[in-house]
Structures are given as C-alpha cells and as structure tokens.
Structure 1
Amino acid sequence: MVPDFLWQYALVFLAAATPWLEIMVVIPVAVGFGLAPLPVTVVSFMGNALPVFGIVALFRGWERRRGPIKRRWSPRAQRVWDRYGLPGVAFAGPLITGIHLAAVMALAMGADRRLTAVWMTLSLAVWSLVTLVATVVGFESMGWLFDRLQEQP
C-alpha cells in the first residue's frame, strides 16, 4: 500500500503539470492543506517544468507534421515579445498565459529550443521561490493575526 503522503505529492505534481494551474496556485493550496512547503515547492517546480521540456523537445516535430502554428498573437503578447524577447515571455508567462503557452509562443516566434528551455526553467525557479516565500510569510502572518485576535477579550 502506498503511503498517503506519496499520493498527496503525486497530486501536487499532477496539478502543477496541468496547464493553467500554475505554481502560484498549487503551492499555496498544497501548503494550506498541511503539506511541507519546501517539498511542495520542489515537486511543483518539477511538475511544471517537465511538460515545458516536453513541449520544447516535441515542438519542431509537431510543426513538421502539422504545419507551423498560426503566429497571430494578441497585440499584448506581440508587444511583450517585441520589447522583452524570450526572457520577458518566460518571466511574464506564469502570470499572464501560463508557462506552457508561453513556451509554445516563444517557440512559435522562432526562439531557440535550448534557450527556451533555459529561460523557462529559470523563470519557474524564480517564481517557485517567490511563491514559497509569499506562502510561508502569508500563512505565518495569518497565524500571528489569529493569535492576536484570540487574545483580545
């Protein structure tokens, strides 16, 4: 029989791997359910990064078989790409479109596969750490606040 905590972390991994369920949602929810913050962050990072690596590895083959992805992006997405390039798309992706779509967009715009993998991974690492710190500080602050409210008569 598999221990419950392995199922819980497997669910964290799968949730993080799901498009549009970014680490900024998965980490606070999992920690809120009582899982340890650091393992949740590592598992979420891996769950979010693995599909990105798959997208990067398989994208050119997809285009060869199916034809190029329509390169008509919203004016906002095009502006981000024109102004900030791959680093901007990588760091804005988790906030705006999700990292998976950001990877597809970067590759469709002609970004190098290796650089796309590097920038997306770096972005996920930074956002994972930011989310970890914000989550821990947020829950600690809420605990402090609730303790203070209970002390008052």
Structure 2
Amino acid sequence: MSGLFDGPFWQYAMLFVLAATPWIELLFVVPLGVAMGLGPVCVALDVFAGNTLPVFLIVFGYDRWRASRPGTAATEGPRREGRRRTRALRIWNNYGLPGLAMAGPLLTGIHLATAIALLFNPDRKKLLFWMTLSLLLWTIALAAASYGGLEAVRHWLARA
C-alpha cells in the first residue's frame, strides 16, 4: 500500500516549492533532487521553474507596489536626472546587473539579489533577462556537477 505522497510527482512538487522558497537556493535543491535519484534534467527544469517564478513575481509585484504608494517617483511623474546619477545608472545597467545576477545565487540568493537590483531601478527587461540567464546557467552547472559527482561516488564505492 502506497502513501498519499509517494511517487515522483510529489518529489518534484517538493523540489519546486523548495526552489521557490527564499533562502533555500538552487545550490541546495538541485543536488538534493539528484541525490534522491530523480533525473537530473527533470530536476534542473523543475528547480529552474521554481526559482524563476518568484523572480518574475518580485519584479512585477515591486512595480505594482511602487506605483500604488503616494508620493513616489512612480506617481509623481518624471523627475529631472542629474548628470552624475545618469552616468552612475548607465554604468550600473551596463555592468552591475550582470555581475549581481551571476553572483546572486551564490552570495545572497537570487530572490534577494532581485530585490537589491530593483533598488537601482534597472530596465525590467534587462533585469529579468539577466536573472533568468543566471538561473539557467547555475541550474545547468549544478545539475551536471551533482550528477557527475554522484556517479563518481557510485563508481568509487563499487570499486571498494
């Protein structure tokens, strides 16, 4: 007799929820899924979706929240930009966002990295592109490393 939560569907659902949870990053969830014996490609797709969904929700939720606040730049209309701020923002948009996105899963977690990036008010399409690309690259690398590491351990144990 099998339990209600037996089977791979629930295991993948658990991985999706863990991946979508802030502070529980793909650095933990991908190796966990591979160690559970689930297929690394399916684990990677599941964890990627679980991490990407909250990033989009954070970005679009932040824009709605900011627009609803009275007295913010979003409700007051355009404000005059100084030369220094314009230059700093241009540098941030060109170099800072990719760096934060790529280091985010390792340093702060992708959800917090997204929130930090929003404070600099980057172009939303660029923000979503870089965060998604970062998640994709990290997920592929972790799935490959986890699978390769698990196979190496199995091979080593079989020889012992």
TM tier relative to shorter chain: 0.7 to 0.9
Q: How does 1:67-146 map to 2 (within 5 A)?
A: 84-146=95-157
State the distance in 1 between where 2:114 and 2:61 align: 12
Offset, 1:98? 0.4
State the distance in 2 between where 1:136 and 1:93 align: 23
State the distance in 2 between where 1:65 and 1:53 align: 18
- Note if contact 2:100-2:117 (Cα within 8 Å) is conserved in structure 1: yes
1:36 — aligned with what? 39
Offset, 1:16? 0.4
State the distance in 2 between where 1:114 and 1:31 align: 32
**1:113-145 deviation digits (Å, cap 9, x = unpaired):** 111111000000000010011001100110111
1:113 counterpart letter in structure 2 = R
Stretches of structure 2 that go unaligned for 5 or more consecutive residues are: 73-91
Offset, 1:62? 1.9
State the distance in 2 between where 1:66 and 1:37 align: 44
2:104 counterpart letter in structure 1 = G
Partner SS state of residue 146, structure 1 = helix
2:50 — aligned with what? 47
Offset, 1:65? 3.9
Offset, 1:83? 9.7
1:62 counterpart letter in structure 2 = W
2:152 counterpart letter in structure 1 = S
Q: Percent identity?
A: 45
Offset, 1:84? 3.9
Partner SS state of residue 110, structure 1 = coil
State the distance in 2 between where 1:2 and 1:137 align: 28
- TM-score scaled to structure 1, two decimals? 0.82
- Note if contact 2:93-2:122 (Cα within 8 Å) is conserved in structure 1: no
- Note if contact 2:101-2:113 (Cα within 8 Å) is conserved in structure 1: yes
Stretches of structure 1 that go unaligned for 5 or more consecutive residues are: 69-80
Q: Paired residues, what number? A: 137
1:58 — aligned with what? 61
- Note if contact 2:40-2:147 (Cα within 8 Å) is conserved in structure 1: yes
